[in-house]
Amino acid sequence: MSSLITKEPKSDCQPHLWRYDDVRPALMEAGDIISAKEAVRRVLILENPGMTGQSKITTSLYGGLQLVLPGEVAPCHRHSQSALRFVLEGQGAHTAVDGEKTYMSPGDFVTTPSMAWHDHGNTSDQPMVWLDGLDIPIVQFFDASFVEDLDKDEQKITKPANTSQFLYGEGLLPLENDHHGSCSPVFNYTYEKSRRTLEFLRSTQDSDRNHGYKLHYSNPLDGGYAMPTMATFLQMLPKGFAGQPYRSTDATVFVCVEGRGMTNIGGQDFAWSPRDIFVVPSWQKVSHQADEESVLFSYSDRAVQEKLGLWREQKG
């Protein structure tokens, strides 16, 4: 009984940090060995060391680094799994989702809803790297996976770039809303905009003792999370911030966007700088420190846990 119904969350998921400078050479080597087209998705999976062989970054989520080189196309497909992209490197590559393209820059958070056709391309002259977050283990758990390939590499573009941004992301909504599904109709939350909001908060308000200045990305149609399974966040830690320990039941993947600092996870220190990725397992105490003004992006399964009435937190 006590091993089935534990007193507290008990997980194989371990705290871990991947230094971008350590993994980037392996990703570029993958770029020499296989094309995006051959691989379908050329990704180095960030596998949690506590769950080897399972392609999971946390118990419920997947994380990977995807590389699209100049001139390449990652061919069009669609699947039950939802995906998020958080851009780490490069500028001007695009992803196309359901007939619309968005061009991406570092710090942009881009969504791919469940069963939406998507292909990625890079017409810029630089390699483009982003972090992929997918709900693969959640879909696996429910045995609900489907995938289809399109009969051509790139889908037909039917809408001008930025259509969803103008129709849904500017505080005005169309009278006849034809948006379907539970994912936000905004599919690129640009860093330019979100960074401005964080800067405004930092210069006008006191910071939270656990999180600094932390916001969640929201669906303008209902104010909820931008995606139905994965909650996404952006937070700023002011220079010299020393956060109080905090824990919650959603294991969380963090990415440093700017700055330099350290996060203590369950008693272990992890120093981070831009593009480093680290994982905080469920219910382990986490406290952030910032040597410089820093920005962290994060994603977790909190969106699901809240819907099921399971999510809990403890503030320090």
- Binding residues for ligand GTQ (CB under 6 A): 41, 43, 64, 66, 79, 83, 118, 132, 134
Phi, psi of 70 (to 5 degrees): -50, 135
Q: Considering the complex, state which of residue 131 and residue 236 has its C-beta at the smaller distance from ligand GTQ.
A: 131
Q: Considering the complex, state which of residue 229 and residue 287 has its C-beta at the smaller distance from ligand GTQ.
A: 229
| Cα–Cα distance for residue pair 227/167, rounded to 1 Å | 18
- State which residue has the least CB distance to ligand GTQ: 132
**3-class DSSP string for 116-140:** CCEEEEECCCCCEEEEEEECHHHHH
State the nearest-atom distance from the C-beta of 188 to ligand GTQ, in Å.
15
State the nearest-atom distance from the C-beta of 280 to ligand GTQ, in Å.
21
Q: Considering the complex, state which of residue 127 and residue 212 has its C-beta at the smaller distance from ligand GTQ.
A: 127
State the nearest-atom distance from the C-beta of 47 to ligand GTQ, in Å.
12
Q: Considering the complex, state which of residue 83 and residue 226 has its C-beta at the smaller distance from ligand GTQ.
A: 83
State the nearest-atom distance from the C-beta of 78 to ligand GTQ, in Å.
9
**Do 256 and 6 contact (CB within 8 A), yes or no?**
no
Q: Considering the complex, state which of residue 45 and residue 173 has its C-beta at the smaller distance from ligand GTQ.
A: 45
| Cα–Cα distance for residue pair 218/307, rounded to 1 Å | 15
Please list, residue by residue across 196-216, b when 16 or more beta carbons sit within 10 angstroms of its beta carbon and e when fewer do: eebeebbeeeebeebbbbbeb
Instruction: Assign 3-state DSSP to the chain and report helix, strand, coil percentages, each to 5.
Output: 15, 35, 50
**Do 243 and 290 contact (CB within 8 A), yes or no?**
no
Which secondary-structure segment (H or E) carries 164? helix 163-168
CA proximity to 104, closest of 133, 74, 130: 130
State the nearest-atom distance from the C-beta of 172 to ligand GTQ, in Å.
30
Q: Considering the complex, state which of residue 74 and residue 296 has its C-beta at the smaller distance from ligand GTQ.
A: 74
State the nearest-atom distance from the C-beta of 88 to ligand GTQ, in Å.
13
Per the rule left: phi > 0, alpha: psi between -120 and 50, beta: everything else, 266 is left
